[in-house]
């Protein structure tokens, strides 16, 4: 192929590449597409994306195209990719076996014969090395400066995808943690195992939201907003909140204010998720038949998110121990909820609880285990992953 056709072919591939990237939103998918297209554009046998794990001083294969054997983790500095990860400089090699940096043992194990290698660093905004983009064995000839230019261009693109994905992830995680901590503060006086209750009812709310036909994003929002449903309890005096007996009518009237109080705390929030939490907080004790509080809303007048959380909250409250009551068995709790379909609860939500009971109970158990594991890990250092 002449140089002109070669350039034309590259242009076509790059244009095609733009379309593919625009259609993909997950990080793994994006990196795989970049690697696949790069393999075609540069006409190479293998292409891999390595990411650096700065906490462990290692790097690992995020994407490996053309290899049966996936190399999982190596210490920084090992092999050509490790050299690039450590130094942040690009490397082009014409004969791998005559380069001391090349890790020959990998070929020895896989029976592959590496000849040429081109590897460039994936650099973040601050210049730190996030990973390495490596291509092996160009099908004809050696790697040129033009090849290196193409690889660098796509590496820049990949680096920005990686950085955006992890920034987004971190922001989101710290945000969710803030919400979760707010909810804990509100309720820790109330129950010994508040954390457990919140996690479980949050998971169950998310599952029910999906089951009644909401989209994955709405369901996820409900999952993460639901732990705040009782945040208004911060304003309820201990004498009421922690009373081991039945509440007097006056005390219960005071207790009911936690709904409106929670709503007031959240409804003017800037964040969509917090406003959703506010709608849930106000309406989570409304009843489908109109006998609930604070407003006595009926049926569809009650926001769907509150009808969902109400089922999740009561189901979990029933199977949990409280200062004022013992824990119910699962079958008793399920039977109670079913008996209240159309009275306390939206029958459509109860129907989904019944249909998904196994999945829901399994998710609750999983949250219990995660909760216990988190308790143990709480003070240890956090691992960061992309
Ligand atoms: P919670 O303990 O988180 O309970 C939430 C909801 O679960 C209750 O809303 C109720 O609908 C349901 N639930 C919980 N335990 C039982 C039960 O043993 N039987 C039945 N049928 N339903 C149960 P509710 O009643 O509006 O109460 C709201 C909050 O008021 C409760 O939140 C709790 O913090 C407090 N509370 C309610 N009753 C008492 C009580 O007798 N003593 C004390 N100290 N607090 C109470
Ligand atoms: C590889 O075969 O991809 C790793 C070889 C190296 O980077 O030295
Ligand atoms: C969180 O801490 O991730 C929010 C609550 C949950 O769903 O576990
Ligand atoms: Fe409540």
Between 232 and 294, name the one with better pLDDT: 294
Condensed to tens digits (0 to 9), the pLDDT of residues 275-317 reads 899 999 999 999 999 999 999 999 999 999 999 999 999 999 9
127 Cα: distance to centroid of ligand 2 (angstroms): 23
Q: How confident is the model at residue 374 (pLDDT cuts 50, 70, 90)?
A: low
Of 63-67, 199-203, 343-347, where does the model show the most confidence?
343-347
334 Cα: distance to centroid of ligand 4 (angstroms): 19
CA 279 from chain centre, in angstroms, equals: 24
325 is catalytic: no
221 Cα: distance to centroid of ligand 1 (angstroms): 25
Q: Which among 62, 86, 123, 233 is annotated as catalytic?
A: 233
Atom of ligand 3 nearest to the CA of 198: 5
Condensed to tens digits (0 to 9), the pLDDT of residues 103-147 reads 888 788 778 899 999 999 999 887 889 999 999 999 989 999 989
Q: Spell out the domains of the chain, with CATH numbers in brackets.
A: 3-168 (3.30.450.40), 189-375 (1.10.3210.10)
Degrees, nearest 5: CA angle 121-42-44:
90
> Which of 171, 176, 206 has the most ligand 3 atoms within 8 A of CB, as the residue to mutate?
176
Mean pLDDT of 72-81: 86
The strands making up 73-75's β-sheet, listed across from edge to edge, are: 73-75, 58-65, 44-53, 129-138, 117-123, 91-93
For the CA atoms of 115, 120, 121, 125, what is the dihedral angle to 10 degrees? -170
Contacts 24+ apart (CB under 8 A), 373-381: 381/55
Q: Report helix angle 272-283 to 145-187, nearest 10.
A: 30
Q: Of all residues in the chain, what percent carry a pLDDT higher than 90? A: 46
Inter-residue contact 305 to 272 (CB < 8 Å)? no
Q: Which residues line ligand 1 (CB under 6 A)?
A: 190, 243, 246-247, 255, 285, 313-314, 317-318, 322-325
User: How far, in Å, are 8, 281, 290, 361 from residue 286 at the CA level?
Assistant: 66, 10, 7, 25
Between 189 and 107, name the one with better pLDDT: 107
Condensed to tens digits (0 to 9), the pLDDT of residues 307-360 reads 999 999 999 999 988 888 899 999 999 999 999 999 999 999 999 999 999 999
Q: Whose CA is nearest to atom 5 of ligand 3?
A: 199
pLDDT reported for residue 385: 39
pLDDT reported for residue 43: 92
């Amino acid at each position: 192929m002449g140089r002109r056709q070669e350039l034309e072919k590259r242009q076509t591939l790059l244009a095609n590449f733009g379309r593919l990237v625009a259609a993909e939103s997950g990080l793994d998918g994006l990196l795989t597409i970049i690697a696949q297209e790069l393999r075609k554009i540069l006409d190479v046998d293998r292409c891999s994306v390595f990411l650096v794990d700065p906490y462990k001083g290692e790097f690992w294969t995020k994407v490996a195209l053309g290899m049966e054997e996936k190399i999982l983790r190596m210490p920084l500095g090992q092999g050509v990719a490790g050299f690039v990860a450590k130094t942040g400089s690009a490397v082009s090699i014409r004969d791998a076996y005559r380069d001391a940096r090349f890790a020959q043992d990998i070929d020895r194990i896989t029976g592959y014969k590496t000849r040429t290698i081109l590897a460039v660093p994936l650099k973040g905004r601050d210049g730190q090395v996030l990973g390495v983009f490596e291509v092996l064995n160009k099908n004809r000839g050696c790697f040129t400066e033009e090849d290196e230019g193409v690889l660098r261009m796509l590496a820049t693109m990949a680096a920005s995808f990686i950085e955006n994905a992890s920034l987004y992830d971190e922001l989101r995680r710290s945000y969710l943690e803030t919400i979760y901590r707010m909810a804990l503060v509100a309720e820790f006086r109330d129950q010994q195992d508040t954390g457990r209750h919140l996690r479980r009812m949050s998971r169950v709310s998310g599952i029910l939201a999906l089951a009644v036909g909401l989209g994955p994003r709405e369901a996820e929002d409900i999952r993460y907003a639901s732990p705040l449903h009782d945040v208004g309890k911060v304003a309820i005096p201990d004498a009421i909140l922690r009373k081991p007996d039945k509440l007097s009518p006056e005390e219960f009237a005071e207790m009911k204010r936690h709904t409106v109080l929670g709503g007031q705390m959240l409804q003017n929030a800037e964040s969509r998720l917090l406003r959703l939490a506010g709608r849930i907080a106000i309406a989570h004790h409304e009843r489908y038949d109109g006998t609930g509080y604070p407003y006595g809303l009926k049926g569809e007048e009650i926001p769907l998110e509150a009808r969902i959380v109400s089922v999740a909250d009561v189901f979990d409250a029933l199977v949990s121990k409280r200062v004022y009551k013992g824990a119910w068995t699962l079958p008793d709790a399920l039977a109670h909820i079913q008996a209240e379909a159309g009275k306390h609860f939206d029958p459509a939500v109860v129907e989904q609880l019944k249909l998904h009971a196994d999945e829901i109970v399994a998710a609750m158990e999983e949250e219990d285990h995660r909760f216990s594991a988190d308790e143990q890990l709480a003070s240890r250092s956090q691992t960061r992953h992309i």
